[in-house]
Chains A and B, each alone.
Chain A
Amino acid sequence: MAEKSVDRSSEYVRIEGVTRRFGDFVAVDNVSLSIYKGEIFCLLGGSGCGKTTLLRMLAGFESPTSGRILIDGQDMADTPPYERPVNMMFQSYALFPHMSVERNVAFGLEQEGLSKGEIARRVGEMLDIVKLGEFARRKPHQLSGGQRQRVALARALVKRPKLLLLDEPLGALDRKLREHTQFELINLQEQLGVTFIVVTHDQEEAMTLASRIGVMNKGQIVQVGTPVDIYEFPNSRFVADFIGSVNMFEGQLAEDEPGYVRIRCPDLEAPVFISHGISAAPDARVSVAIRPEKISMTRESPAGTENRAVGTVKEIAYMGDMSVYLVRLDSGRMVRVTIPNVERHDERIVWEERVHLSWDPSSPVVLSQ
């Protein structure tokens, strides 16, 4: 999840107030976005949030109802897909079933009218990069899922696009292969210096791949930021809830000072103290979001009178590297807590035990929308 350095001055794609309607349905709603040269930008959202429509508009398969798309400073309105400096990797891979791997990869170069020798050289080079040299003469149906994915990637990259669009690039792979391929994808991107725009519904995929993430909901971009920004500083209830799991408490601002705030939540007996100021109207209804891994759980009562709660363990899910506990507070509210399994022979907390929950004043995020 290392933050990559991206040169903010070199904007490559600019989306200006783009809206796309299908009849009465607004698939993409007034989206504005800048994507910089050399970054991996992930559009993340649930199904039907408009992320794929946005990608298809960049590729030229759909046109915006209103707004402009500029790639490398040029308005793309009248440029058909076959003239855009953009290539796309399809979710289904869309390999031509009647052509061998070699001919699939060569197809794009043939359209450019290059010489036979030049095409053969570049295809060979590309197949070596994705480690498919020995499969050059196979047909797509003679390949495994992971190999097909690499052919699709090679076919898109062999044209040396400045911008590659990837629609759910790892969606069809099984878990082990995904993780491996994610890192391959990042290496390839760095090696070739291509700008990637990735569409995905899988937050884990977005977190590992992206230098920046744009979270989409109902056709709108709700937050843009680095994976760390999005996870640690979500700007809305939707984002906090969509990325990872979170405990959300409704509450009311009790004290609002520039250096700290105190919030009273009906579900929590003790007030929540937060060690930084927020911008919200006094007496506003707010939500306090606390990530499950930021809550500590003890048998003994912690010090202090704030940022704490008492409850009974109701469910335990042992996941190997960590355990998930569902704790019912005395108010009846369920709270999710994750504890890493650091020691092998721990005296673990068991079902129906009384536990104390507490958290650091810097952990909660206050959300007002």
Chain B
Amino acid sequence: MKSRGWFRNSALALGMAFLYVPILTMIFFSFNNSKLVTVWDSANSPTLKWYGLLFENQQILGAAWVSIKVAALTASGAVVLGTLAGLVLVRFGAFRGRAMLSAMTTAPLVMPEVITGLSLLLLFVALEQLTGWPAGRGVLTITIAHITFAMAYVTVIIQSRLAGFDDSLEEAALDLGARPARVFFSITLPLILPAIISGWLLAFTLSWDDVVIAQFVAGPSSSTLPMVIFSKVRLGVSPDINALATIMVLIVALGVVVSTLFMRRQERQRLREEQMARAGEP
């Protein structure tokens, strides 16, 4: 391998350290026996004590379940709305209110979360007073709030996928006798499916991460996992949080690794097949 020179090597090392040392420290201390987070108890460590305690903690398990539910619902809702918005923005050309719609769908990307959260809270309260719906705040209101901002990201992903989409594919399907609805489900949808899946995953992560908006619109019995962590940390960092965070990091890392490997394998196969086709050219 080529020597990269000391400057580049140290830049690389520093960069990696900057990114990964905090996470590694946290993982390291999650195996610490001591109740004090920063004091390493070398006599009884490493231990899985905190992991065990974690799975007995009903509050955390409950919050994790709420988070998963909210994230899955959010991702699904955001994908449907985001796909529709993306389609309208790319396909309908110029129409009255297009600039308005475009601005409104992407506003949550740049809007401070505090403001999004506050305005949604005010909306829910006003709605409840006027119509009685939504009754109180909980999983439903968090999900609606998360969909509003996650949808913006999905819209952007779908829009960029559709911008590179060959319109003649849909025209060809129409020309072959397929009605517009059929064209959407057998041509457009399968082709933008990768974008929809990555949009779903992104929306899921966004919802799973969010604490600010959830704080505003959550009810008393619907704390999400980040909310629980946040409130626990305010009373002092306890070692079981390290264990919990380590599990979350592992899940995310596993997801990223699996999807990367999967995509790389598909890419390699595509390249191989294209080479085969070129070799067989008359």
Residues of A within 8 A of B (CB): 59-61, 80-83, 86-88, 90-92, 94, 96-98, 107-108, 111-112, 138-139, 141-147, 155-156, 159, 177
Contacts of A146 in B (CB 8 A): 281-282
Pick the contact of A94: B171, B182, B186, B277 (CB < 8 A): B171
Contacts of B179 in A (CB 8 A): 82
Number of interface residues of B (CB under 8 A): 26
Contacts of B176 in A (CB 8 A): 82, 87, 107-108, 111, 155-156, 159
B251 to chain A, nearest CB (A): 31
A94 and B175 CA atoms in complex are apart in Å by: 11
Q: Does B248 contact A (CB under 8 A)?
A: no
Those of B139-193 within 8 Å (CB) of chain A: 166, 168-169, 171-179, 182, 186-187, 190-191
Task: Please state if B177 and A94 are interface contacts (CB–CB under 8 Å).
Answer: no
A93 to chain B, nearest CB (A): 8
Binds A, one of B65-73, B97-105, B268-276: B268-276
Task: Please state if B172 and A97 are interface contacts (CB–CB under 8 Å).
Answer: no
Task: Please state if B282 and A90 are interface contacts (CB–CB under 8 Å).
Answer: no
Contacts of A80 in B (CB 8 A): 174
Task: Please state if A82 and B175 are interface contacts (CB–CB under 8 Å).
Answer: yes
Task: Please state if B173 and A107 are interface contacts (CB–CB under 8 Å).
Answer: yes
Interface of B, helix, strand, loop or mixed by DSSP: helix
Contact with A along B42-64 (1 / 0, CB 8 A): 00000000000000000000000
Closest 10 CB pairs of A and B: A108-B176, A111-B177, A144-B281, A94-B172, A94-B168, A81-B174, A90-B168, A142-B273, A142-B277, A88-B175
A79 to chain B, nearest CB (A): 12
A59 and B172 CA atoms in complex are apart in Å by: 10
Of the listed residues B177, B191, B280, the one surrounded by the most CB atoms of chain A closer than 10 A to its CB is B177
Contacts of B166 in A (CB 8 A): 92, 94
Task: Please state if B281 and A145 are interface contacts (CB–CB under 8 Å).
Answer: yes
Pick the contact of A97: B171, B191, B281 (CB < 8 A): B191
Task: Please state if A142 and B175 are interface contacts (CB–CB under 8 Å).
Answer: no
Contacts of A97 in B (CB 8 A): 169, 191
Q: Does B2 contact A (CB under 8 A)?
A: no
The residue on A at minimum CB distance from B272 is A142
Task: Please state if B177 and A144 are interface contacts (CB–CB under 8 Å).
Answer: no
Q: Does B278 contact A (CB under 8 A)?
A: yes
Pick the contact of A141: B169, B187, B190, B277 (CB < 8 A): B277
**What 11 new A-B contacts, CB under 8 Å, besides A96-B187, A107-B173, A141-B273?**
A82-B178, A82-B179, A88-B175, A91-B168, A94-B169, A141-B270, A142-B276, A143-B277, A144-B282, A156-B176, A159-B177
Pull 23 A–B residue pairs with CB atoms less than 8 Å apart, ordered by A.
Answer: A59-B171, A80-B174, A81-B175, A82-B174, A88-B171, A88-B172, A88-B175, A94-B166, A94-B168, A94-B171, A96-B172, A96-B173, A96-B187, A97-B191, A107-B178, A108-B177, A111-B176, A138-B277, A141-B274, A143-B277, A144-B282, A146-B281, A156-B176
Residues of B within 8 A of A (CB): 166, 168-169, 171-179, 182, 186-187, 190-191, 270, 273-274, 276-278, 280-282
A151 to chain B, nearest CB (A): 12
The residue on B at minimum CB distance from A112 is B177
A146 and B169 CA atoms in complex are apart in Å by: 19
Pick the contact of A92: B168, B191, B277, B280 (CB < 8 A): B168
The residue on B at minimum CB distance from A176 is B282
With contact pairs A94-B169, A94-B172 given, residues A142 and B274 touching in the complex (Cβ less than 8 Å):
yes
A301 and B163 CA atoms in complex are apart in Å by: 66
A74 to chain B, nearest CB (A): 17
B8 to chain A, nearest CB (A): 38
Task: Please state if A111 and B172 are interface contacts (CB–CB under 8 Å).
Answer: no
A86 and B281 CA atoms in complex are apart in Å by: 31
A97 and B173 CA atoms in complex are apart in Å by: 12
Task: Please state if B182 and A139 are interface contacts (CB–CB under 8 Å).
Answer: no
A362 and B109 CA atoms in complex are apart in Å by: 75
Contacts of B172 in A (CB 8 A): 88, 90, 94, 96, 155
Contacts of B177 in A (CB 8 A): 82-83, 108, 111-112, 159
A11 and B179 CA atoms in complex are apart in Å by: 29
